[in-house]
Amino acid sequence: MFSMVFLSGCAAQVKYKFDKDMFVSPEPKHYAVVIDAFADNRPEREKEGKFYGKDGYAVINDKMFKKDIPLQVSQMLAEHLTKAKVFDSVKVVNVSDDLEVKPEEMTQLKDAGYSLVVIGKLNCFYGYYSDEVSASVSALLFGAVGAITEALMNPKTVGGKVEYGDVKIIDLVKGTVAWSGNVEHDFEKKEKFYDTPIGYVLKALKETNNNFSKQLSESNL
User: Do residues 57 and 130 touch, judged by C-beta distance below 8 A?
Assistant: yes
End-to-end CA distance of the chain: 38
Domain boundaries, the chain: 28-123+162-182+199-218
Q: The whole model's pTM is what?
A: 0.86
User: Do residues 65 and 72 touch, judged by C-beta distance below 8 A?
Assistant: yes
Q: What is the structure's pLDDT at 97?
A: 81
User: Do residues 179 and 138 touch, judged by C-beta distance below 8 A?
Assistant: no
Residue that wins the pLDDT comparison between 8 and 184: 184
> pLDDT tens across 3-42, in order?
444 444 579 999 999 999 999 999 999 999 999 999 999 9
> pLDDT tens across 40-59, in order?
999 999 999 988 778 888 89
Task: Tell me the CATH number of domain 28-123+162-182+199-218, given options 3.40.50.2300, 3.30.70.1400, 3.40.50.2020, 3.40.50.800.
Answer: 3.40.50.800
Q: Is 208 exposed, middle or buried (0-12, 13-18, 19+ CB in 10 A)?
A: buried
User: Do residues 207 and 4 touch, judged by C-beta distance below 8 A?
Assistant: no
Question: For residues 130 and 155, what is the distance between their CA atoms, to the nearest angstrom?
Answer: 9
